[in-house]
């Protein structure tokens, strides 16, 4: 399995699938989640990791989207920081 697939599997399990499979998720959140998935799929593993951390730091748009996700009760990138950092680090990228 490629490094990109490993990252996507992790994010699908922790963040994306709970949203996309929810019958109660607002359309705006589902659409934003799908855009994030599409964006990530265009990146290599390093680009995916960089994008994750850019979302954590946040632009006005990503901060607002994160707030909407939290208000709707869905997991966010911020909720998995420690696990992501421990798993997808520089040593892992080099392996």
pLDDT at 75 (0 to 100): 95
Per-residue pLDDT of 8-30, as tens digits, reads: 999 999 999 999 999 999 999 99
Matching residue, tokens 């265009």: 42
pLDDT band at 59 (very low <50, low <70, confident <90, very high): confident
Query: What does pLDDT average to over the chain?
Result: 96
Range of the domain at 48: 3-94
Kindly give, in sequence order, each residue whose CB lies less than 8 Å from that of residue 22, ignoring residues fewer than 6 positions away. 74
Cα(24)–Cα(39) distance, rounded to whole angstroms? 24
Q: How many domains does the chain fold into? A: 1
What is the rounded average pLDDT of the residues 40-63? 93
């Amino acid at each position: 399995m490629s490094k990109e697939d490993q990252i996507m599997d992790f994010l699908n399990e922790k963040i994306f699938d709970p949203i996309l499979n929810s019958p109660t998720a607002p359309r705006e959140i589902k659409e934003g989640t799908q855009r994030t998935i599409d964006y990530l799929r265009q990146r290599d593993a390093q680009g995916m990791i960089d994008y994750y951390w850019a979302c954590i730091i946040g632009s006005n748009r990503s901060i607002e989207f994160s707030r909407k996700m939290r208000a709707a009760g869905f997991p966010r990138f911020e909720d998995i920081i420690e696990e992501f950092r421990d798993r997808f680090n520089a040593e892992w990228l080099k392996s």
